[in-house]
Structure 1
Amino acid sequence: MALAESQQLDLVEVSPTAVPPVCRIMDYGKFKYQQAKKLAEAKKKQVQVELKEVKLRPKTDTHDLEFKVKHVRRFLEEGNKAKITVVFRGREITHQELGMAALEKFAAELADIALVEVRQKMEGRSMFMIVAPKVKAK
């Protein structure tokens, strides 16, 4: 402790369970600052993946579907996942095959850049599918 005080530094216990306990002479404030900087740098390099959603109806026309495919393509190229939802209203629920066909068409159009993460699922009056971007080989 006298040696640390003479150098105007701190005596920090590194391993208290070791026999004898291991201590180190350092500037503890500077050490904590550098650790915080490393954490901030690591956090900056993280990529936050969002789940974007596109809604359509079972009777949505082909041009509108193609337009929505372009949107989903853009989402996937940005590195986000996409949720494609087909909403059924009224008696449309009796023709679930139309919604299934629309989702299958989406999957076929996006097969080159996307993987289907969650296949077609019914949830109440809506059917959805989740697609994620394909991982690029380095």
Structure 2
Amino acid sequence: VNIDDHDYLTKIRHGEEFLDRGNKDRVQLQFRGREMAHQEFGLQLMEKVRDDLSGMSQVETEPKITGRNVSMTLSPLPANRRKRRFAPQPKTAENEISVSPNGT
């Protein structure tokens, strides 16, 4: 259930990409060790994911606890109703390699 903000946003952006292509998105998390004693935190995280992706998807299967896992399936909204909330990060100049005309 412990996830950093940057890691969470990366997962949400990838989820939006899957949904934008018309694919379903299954969100799953696994409890470790003492996290089993506080399963409500996992369900709260699933609700947060559902709310963050609500502009792109609808819940197909509600969050369900199975052993140490919690999973939920999201299906994409029709293309004309989808609204991306987290835009993909643009490529920066640092990541691109430029080649000069003389080959150096």
Q: TM-score range by the shorter chain?
A: 0.7 to 0.9
- If you compute each CA radius of gyration, which structure gives the higher value, 1 or 2? 1
Q: Which residue of 2 aligns with 1:94?
A: 37
Structure 2 alignment gaps of length 5 or more: 81-104
1:131 to 66, 70, 74: 74
Quote the Cα distance in structure 1 between the aligned partners of 2:73 and 2:14. Answer: 14
Structure with a larger share of its residues in strand: 1
Structure 1 residue 126, shift from structure 2 partner: 0.3
TM-score (norm 1): 0.55
Quote the Cα distance in structure 1 between the aligned partners of 2:29 and 2:16. Answer: 18
Q: Which secondary structure state, in structure 2, belongs to the residue aligned with residue 95 of structure 1?
A: helix
Q: Are 1:103 and 2:49 matched, yes or no?
A: no
Q: Which residue of 1 aligns with 2:85?
A: none
Q: Which secondary structure state, in structure 2, belongs to the residue aligned with residue 121 of structure 1?
A: strand
5 Å matches for 1:1-138?
A: 58-136=1-79
Structure 1 residue 90, shift from structure 2 partner: 1.2
TM superposition outliers: structure 1 runs of 4+ over 6 Å: none
Structure 1 residue 116, shift from structure 2 partner: 0.7
Quote the Cα distance in structure 1 between the aligned partners of 2:8 and 2:44. Answer: 12
How high is the sequence identity, in percent, across the aligned residues?
36
CA RMSD in angstroms comes to 1.1
Quote the Cα distance in structure 2 between the aligned partners of 1:59 and 1:98. Answer: 9
Structure 1 alignment gaps of length 5 or more: 1-57
